[in-house]
């Protein structure tokens, strides 16, 4: 993962460096192509997702349950991961389409605010798996080649870095709210957004 707050792939064949999830052979995803216009938005419960990832990470660290159960617990996180990642990008696109939409600005602000912590939580799972006595099995069966090499010595998401990324996200969201599409002014008897007034006199 990088320090930009983007969520790393939960599974893949290249240790997470390829930027996409690669379908493990053992799972039947039964997915279909969904048109963008047909996507149904649902705000993810970020705190619950982070808690779920943390619980599985603890189970991998403690190694008190069989390997197969640990692997199954990791696989069970996929739906939550996909939901967060999809809604994160979807809300960003919707906000970019209409910067005046309070709803989409608030939704993107909510999800992006949790992105650094969510990414850090995923990385902790990578590290736990890479440092586990089952590391080679995790690498072979799920995460892909590169897991051990990349995460055996730990990750990069310290508490300080997460805090800095959260501050950065807050500043970016505040800056986005200052878009000319959101600046309301009164000019020659019209009270409209700056963009609307400019467009009015451009026609």
Beta strands in the chain (DSSP E): 184-187, 190-193
The pLDDT tens digits for 17-60 are 444 434 444 444 455 677 888 899 999 999 999 999 999 999 99
Whether residue 38 contacts residue 14, with contact meaning beta carbons closer than 8 Å, is answered with no
End-to-end CA distance of the chain: 47
pLDDT reading at 159 higher than 80: yes
| pTM of the full structure | 0.70
pLDDT of res. 155: 84
The pLDDT tens digits for 103-158 are 998 999 999 999 999 999 999 999 999 999 999 999 999 999 999 999 999 888 88
Q: How far, CA to CA in Å, does 40 sit from each of 4, 33, 34, 87, 119?
A: 26, 14, 10, 9, 23
Sign of CA dihedral 185, 187, 191, 195: negative
Taking the C-alpha atoms of residue 54 and residue 122, their distance in angstroms, rounded to an integer, is: 8
Whether residue 123 contacts residue 55, with contact meaning beta carbons closer than 8 Å, is answered with no
Whether residue 121 contacts residue 86, with contact meaning beta carbons closer than 8 Å, is answered with no
Taking the C-alpha atoms of residue 121 and residue 127, their distance in angstroms, rounded to an integer, is: 10
pLDDT of res. 190: 76
Whether residue 153 contacts residue 162, with contact meaning beta carbons closer than 8 Å, is answered with no
């Amino acid at each position: 993962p990088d320090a930009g707050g983007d969520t790393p792939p939960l599974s893949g064949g290249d240790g997470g460096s390829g930027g996409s999830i690669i379908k493990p052979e053992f799972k039947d995803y039964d997915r279909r192509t969904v048109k963008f216009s047909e996507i149904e938005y649902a705000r993810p419960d970020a705190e619950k997702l982070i808690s779920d990832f943390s619980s599985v990470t603890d189970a991998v660290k403690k190694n008190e349950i069989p390997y197969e159960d640990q692997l199954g617990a990791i696989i069970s996180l996929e739906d939550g991961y996909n939901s967060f990642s999809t809604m994160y990008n979807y809300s960003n696109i919707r906000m970019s389409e209409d910067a005046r939409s309070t709803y989409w600005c608030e939704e993107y602000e909510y999800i992006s605010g949790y992105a650094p912590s969510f990414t850090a939580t995923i990385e902790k799972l990578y590290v736990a798996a890479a440092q586990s006595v089952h590391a080679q099995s995790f690498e072979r069966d799920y995460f892909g080649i590169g897991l051990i090499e990349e995460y055996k010595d730990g990750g990069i998401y310290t508490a300080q870095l997460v805090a800095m990324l959260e501050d950065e996200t807050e500043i970016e969201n505040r800056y986005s709210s200052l878009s000319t599409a959101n600046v309301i002014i009164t000019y020659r008897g019209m009270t409209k957004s700056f963009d609307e007034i400019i467009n009015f006199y451009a026609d």
